Amino acid sequence: MPWPLSTAAAANISPLHFQQHHQQQQQVCWHQQQQHHRQRLRCSSVSRQSSAAGHCSSCCAAQPAASQGFPPLVRPGSRAGQRPSRSVSLRVVALERDEDYEQPPEAGVLPDVARRLEADRSSSPTGSRKAAASNPISLTNPIIRAGGSSSSSSSTAGSSSPTPGSSSAPSSSSSSNGAGPAGLSAAAPSATAPAAAAAAAAGAAMQQQQAAASAAAAELAGASSGPAVSPAGLSPLYPPAERSQIQESWDALMRWSKTFSKRSGSGLSPIEAADKVVVFGGGSFGTAMGSSLALKKPQLDVVLLLRDPYLCKDINSSHCNTKYLPGFTLPRNVRATTDAAEAIAGAQYAVHAVPVQHSRAFLTGVREVLPKDVPIICVSKGLEVGSGCMMSEVIPSALGRRQPAVFLSGPSFAKEVMQGRPTGVVAASKDAALAREIQELFASPCMRVNTSTDVTGVEICGALKNVLAIAAGIVEGLDLGHNALAALIAQGCAEIRWLSQKVGAKPATISGLSGLGDIMLTCYGDLSRNRAVGVRLGRGEKLHDILASSTQVAEGVATAGVVVGLARKYRVSLPVLTAVAQVLDSNLEPAEAVAAVMNLPQIEER
């Protein structure tokens, strides 16, 4: 084909341009085959034997048809052996007449169909050059003169070659059928071996033609006014100006990251300075956070302080928390003990992972052996039943003194932390320097740690989201659909915002990782313990049976009643969270609670 293309142009072809031009090239090749077969039919000296070999003496110079670069005559998009329709057969008969084999019309003398196509192209605002790019088939081609259509037509004629050893099957074709090279070279079983060899050689010839078609499509695409093509072969999404701005913004972000890392990288990091970390409690999240520190520094001694001697033995012997994290192998530098004095002695940090309702008693028991300067990193979330206190109030009250403390919260499932999946949390402390220290202690390629001084906001959001997760589980258990679930969570987020702001939380905290981020994870995540309780309630199970069969604590069950008391204290109405407390207390059935909330007066959103 007369398509001089450079290698660079062919390398920039897009998949869309390749598909379009590939189909157009198939049309061109088919029309050339038509002309070739007609010329052979006109040769009076053709013998049956020479025709079976795929050549004639006068027009082909005893060269097989495959050597001409043409496979057996098959309409693009058709299948070998497909039976032509009556209308197609009639058109084939019309094409076989001698007058149809005459020279194409002179320039400027176009048949009716071609004239209409030319008028449409000339009236297009994109110009004749883009029209030619969309359909390179010549308007003077005899197939158009005989009543054919352009490559975008939905129905075209196919013809069967009367030459022995080759056959064709007509079919409907469109610009979207995407027929490949195999579709062009496929033909009905030939009667002779030479014809089969010719078909095989034609397949190789068509592969070369496809390379030319790809290069032509690239050149045509470059000639058009469309967007540039990326070296990877994919068209860019944004215009050049926007792409430049995006790249500049990203480069600026990376430069800031490198500069910030150099400034904060001086001195000994907390993980390098630490020799021992104690973890209060052997639950899933406490074990996961201890393991993440152990992986950062293999020489670090991480000790889990447990009350279960059997679990302690399992961890030390098999390096697996068989009760809360079965199937996960703990690092070799993680061990367990039931001796509080041994666990705490020499530790630079203490990770508190004891459930909120048991924290006061636990801290009271270890206050004599816990040094006053050891920071407590609290990962427990909830409100204490009876007092309504947050953990930032329980810790100093139980220890009888002010203790350095940081509160770690955010969307973080223990199993995904153990798997090393990306996780983001917030370290909140009234001491900003201590918050940054804990940030450096836990930060890793798998864990981002933001800092905050809004301890109240981080804690209250971490407590209220557990109650909302139970409500989300109830909706799931009742199979009320995605609309109901989204509306419920949106209403619950608003209620958490109302109460949090009354308590003193900052709006940025509510919309951050420890607020909205933790809410989304707990309400939608299948690993959420509180959501699992709600699902089982919605399916008709009793709360007593649910809690008896669970090995882990769902803090939202105990927190729901405290939340209602806190709302009454600050005079805030919480319809969804109050309904959860009613369901947990067996005063309402889940379906009744949903119906009651839905029938509340229609109000303005706030």
What positions carry a catalytic annotation? Answer: 465
Which burial class, exposed, middle or buried, applies to 252 when counting CB atoms under 10 A from its CB (0-12, 13-18, 19+)? exposed
Closest C-alpha among 72, 17, 35 to residue 213? 17
Which residues neighbour 238 within 8 Å (Cβ) at sequence distance 6 or greater?
246
Measured between alpha carbons, how far is 182 from 577 in angstroms, rounded to an integer? 64
Measured between alpha carbons, how far is 25 from 546 in angstroms, rounded to an integer? 67
Instruction: Locate 134 and state its tokens.
Output: 């969309």
DSSP for 482-529, please give it.
HHHHHHHHHHHHHHHHHHHHHHT--HHHHTSIIIIIHHHHHHH-TT-H
Q: Cα angle at 430 between 429 and 436, to 5 degrees? A: 50
Instruction: Locate 401 and state its tokens.
Output: 């003194």
Instruction: Locate 79 and state its tokens.
Output: 């299948």
Phi/psi of residue 82, nearest 5 degrees: -75, 135
Query: Quick check: 464 and 433 in contact, CB under 8 A?
Result: no
Query: How far is CA 277 from each of CA 86, 152, 271, 356, 407, rounded to the nearest angstrom?
Result: 86, 71, 10, 21, 16
Radius of gyration of the chain (CA): 38
Which residues neighbour 68 within 8 Å (Cβ) at sequence distance 6 or greater?
36, 60
Helices and strands (H, E) in the chain, number of each type: 27, 8
Query: Quick check: 211 and 11 in contact, CB under 8 A?
Result: no
Measured between alpha carbons, how far is 279 from 286 in angstroms, rounded to an integer? 6
